[in-house]
Each structure stands twice: as structure tokens, then as C-alpha cells.
Chains A and B, each alone.
Chain A
Amino acid sequence: MPRVVRKLRNWTARILDLPQDVVLDLPRVTMIGGIQLTVENHRGVLHFSPESLRLAMEKGELEVTGQDLTIRNIGAEEVLVEGTITGVLLKR
């Protein structure tokens, strides 16, 4: 995203009091207990194993750690992970 566009979006979000994720394509992570996790606005799967799931982000990546992880559903924008989730790590 060009710098100008990003600045404009930032400004719009501030003025119109909009959530940042809607305007800036930031990942939105929703976790229910330690068993279910939804990540919106991902940019693809980098690595998947029963212990970890690494997802590409607009900037950097997101790692979900746990045991017996299962991708219940995956779409272009959204991932639903189930299993025993022990950690969510954001890397810039």
C-alpha cells in the first residue's frame, strides 16, 4: 500500500471513528477459550503442523501454537482453527 494511501486511511479512521481493522486490513483474531480461534484478514498459510500454524499477514506473520490443531475451515480471508491452543504470537 502506498504511503499516501495509508496516511489517508489512517486519517479517515480517526475522523470517522472506525475500527482500525476494517480500514487498514489488519488481522483480527477472535479466540474462544483455548479451543477455537478465528483469524480474519490473513494472507495465506506458511506452515501447518499439529503443534503450530503460521499464517502470513499484511505485515509480518502470526503463529498459533497448541496441540492437535485442526483447520476447521479456511477461506481467502478467514481461518477457523480448533484444538488445544496454547499461544498466539505476532511477528513483525
Chain B
Amino acid sequence: MKGNWFQYARGFVTVKLVSGDADAFLAEAVSKLELWDISYARDGKLVFRVSLADFFRMRPILRRARARTRIMERSGLPFQMARLSRRKTFAAGMLGFVFMLFLLSTLVWDVQVEGTERIPAEQIRQAARAEGIYPFQWSFRLQDPSQLAEKLALRLPGASWVGVVKTGTRITITVVESTKPEEKPLESPRDLIAKTDAVVTRIVAENGRPKVQRNDRVRKGDVLISGIVGEGDRTKMVVSKGEVRGLVWHEYRIVSPLTTKTKGFTGEAHNRSYLLIGNRALQISGYGHEPFAQSEVLSDLKRFRIGNWTLPLGKYIEEEKEVVFEERKLTEAEAKAAGLAQARKELLAASGKGAVIKAEKLLHEHTENGKVILNVLFEVEQSIAVERPIVQSVP
């Protein structure tokens, strides 16, 4: 049996035998033509279907049977095409739709940039635009992706590799950025000079010429490592670098009180909570407490939020803690030790990194008005070099 679609493609008609000898017609037609769905209609007339080609070959048979036909229905592709050719606008619309679909699918709709951290995506997009990769560009106007990638890589100096992949209407540009060494600030020629009067304990010159030696006494402003190297006419200015450490003396006057005041919490506390509406607070709980004589208040504010959106509502909790101050009497020795410890800390902080206290000497000590007053000399080993730029003399 032939498929229905085959008959549909060829086209067929439903025919009614209006008059004539049906049996005679059938006997001949069945052997010569291809008929199907042969039956009788309600009015007793023969109805059958025949393919379009056979319909025209049926005529001599009809004449011999003295039969007349009436076409009931035309079906199939040839008739549909004829109908379509009459509806020109519809046909044009159908064609137009297919054409538009094709046209739109040849456009580049989306350009995506991947793998960039330092190079801004906009810069890559601009470079791509210069090579013809931009949204609403025709696909057929683009070059081969590997060629495009090569040209893009030339346009992007910060990229070590560029890949261009086209999938349908989307172009993905993958960029691998080249790693760059850290940039150092520019330095001008300089000397290293002494920050204070000191005795040099260690000098290491990485660059430049050392002017002093270990155990030399230096005054403030003396050149330690010179940035001018060479002799006579053959001199050159360099950026001197190095480490110079020396013993430096600091005299400290320390005033240490004999009584100290310390703060402590008693553990008693009151909580008050508020409801925040806009910028107003409504106290909800924590009424009716006796206020403390001395207290400290800690507060905690919480705003309600939904996702990223902060609501104009919130909760505000105040914790009032009772505080007592305690006074403690110190002996002179304790006050002295506390004062010295404090002085050492301050000194080390002021002397810079790597400073070490080598010796300390108590010069003078006396007590007056409830305070211990000390004069102490500290001997500190610390870095004594500071930079001084070399200013070129104008001849």
C-alpha cells in the first residue's frame, strides 16, 4: 500500500458518478486505474477517490460507460499550491518569515568576554569592534575565528592568549592575561645619612660607597653611604642602599603616679530594647530600673532587611552596665617599674623596626606630689640611616 502522504503529494479528487452504468465503469476502471474508498452515497450514487493523473485518464472509460461525474472535493498538494498562488500576500508572508528567520540567525547577537581581571572588558570589546566583532554584525562578514583571535591578541598587549569561539549567534572571547612583574617606584640618586648622633655598630652597603666603619662616631647629618661612586671625572650618581645600625642615646624623664585608677564592671546590668520606625525609637522593654551611680552603655542596632533591601524598621538594644572605679596605692618601687616599662615600650615604638635596648642607666630619681620622677638614659641599637637626595649642582 502506498502511504497517504504519497497520494497527498500527487493530489487526488473525490468524484461522484452522477449518471451512467456504475458496474460497467467499475469493471473497466478497476483494472486500468487506481481507485480507492469506493462506496455509495446516501442518494445511491457511486463515490470514489482517484489520483489527479488517473482522473484525466478516466475520460474514455466514462464515455464508454456513458457516465457523467461531478467532482466533490479536491485534495492534495497541487490544489493547495494553486490556492496558495491565489493568496499572494500570504505566500509572500510565509516566504518572508523563513527568510527573516534565516537572516536573523546569521546575525551576531551577543559578544561575551571571559577570563579578564585586569584588562577591562570594555577595552576588549573595543578591540573586538575594531576587528568587526560586535552585536548585529553579519556572521558572513566575520573572518575565520583563529585569524580573529590572532588579530585581537595583537591589539591587546596585556593578553598572552586570545581565543574566539562562535556558537550560533554568540561569540565568546576568552582572554588569558599575561602576568606582569610588580612595578617598583622610581628612585632618584641619594645618600644615606645619619639620623642622630650615634656609634656605628654595623654597616652593610648594597649600593653606593660606605663612608664610615664600625665603631666610628657619627654626628647627625654625616654621610654614611655615599651615592656618588668613582673618582675624579669618572663619577656616577647611584641610588645608595644598605643597612646602617648604631648605638643611640635617649634621655627620658618619666613621671609615674603612686596611685592608679582602674575601671571594673560589677556585673549588674539593665537591658532596654527599642523598636525603630524610621528615625524614631519606641522603648519596648526595660522600664522601671533604678539608674546606676556610674555606668557605661553599650548599644546594638539591628535593621531588618529583605535580601539587599533595608526596611525602615529595626531593633535597638541598649545595655547599661554598672561600673566601679578602684584606686590602688603603689609603692615607689612598683611605680618606678611601671614607669620604666612604659618608657621602654614607647622608646622601642619610636625607634623603628629592629631596635634593641642595649643598656639603661638611672640618672636621677625623686618623689614629689605623689609621683615618682625618674631621669633615665637608654642606649638603643637601631637603624640610623635616612635618605637624602643628591641635588645636582648647576655648573
Contact = CB atoms under 8 A, between A and B. Distances in A.
A90 interface: no
A44 B39 contact: no
B40 A71 contact: no
Contacts of A3: none
B15 to A, nearest CB: 14
A44 B28 CA distance: 8
B284 to A, nearest CB: 85
A47 B38 contact: no
Contacts, number: 39
A46 B27 contact: yes
Given A44-B31, A45-B30, A70 B23 contact: no
Interface stretch (A9-17, A23-31, A72-80): A72-80
A49 interface: yes
Contact of A74 (B22, B30, B40, B46): B30
Interface in A43-67: 44-50
Interface string A2-43: 000000000000000000000000000000000000000000
A69 interface: yes
Interface string B1-39: 100000000000000000000110011001100111111
Contacts of B26: 45, 48
A71 B23 contact: no
Given A70-B37, A73-B36, A45 B27 contact: yes
Contacts of B40: 49-50
Nearest to B40: A50
B344 to A, nearest CB: 114
A46 B23 contact: yes
Contact of B36 (A44, A47, A74, A76): A74
Interface size class of B (residues with CB under 8 A): 10 to 19
Contact of A70 (B22, B27, B30, B38): B38
A48 B39 CA distance: 9
A50 to B, nearest CB: 5
Max count, chain A CB within 10 A of own CB: residue among B1, B26, B46, B48: B26
B23 A48 contact: yes
A48 B38 contact: yes
A68 B1 contact: no
7 contacts: A44-B30, A45-B23, A46-B27, A48-B22, A48-B46, A50-B40, A73-B36
A53 B122 CA distance: 84
Contacts of B37: 70-72
Contact of A71 (B1, B27, B39): B39
A18 to B, nearest CB: 26
A50 B42 CA distance: 10
Max count, chain B CB within 10 A of own CB: residue among A47, A49, A71: A71
Nearest to B46: A48
A49 B47 CA distance: 11
Nearest to B34: A75
B38 A74 contact: yes
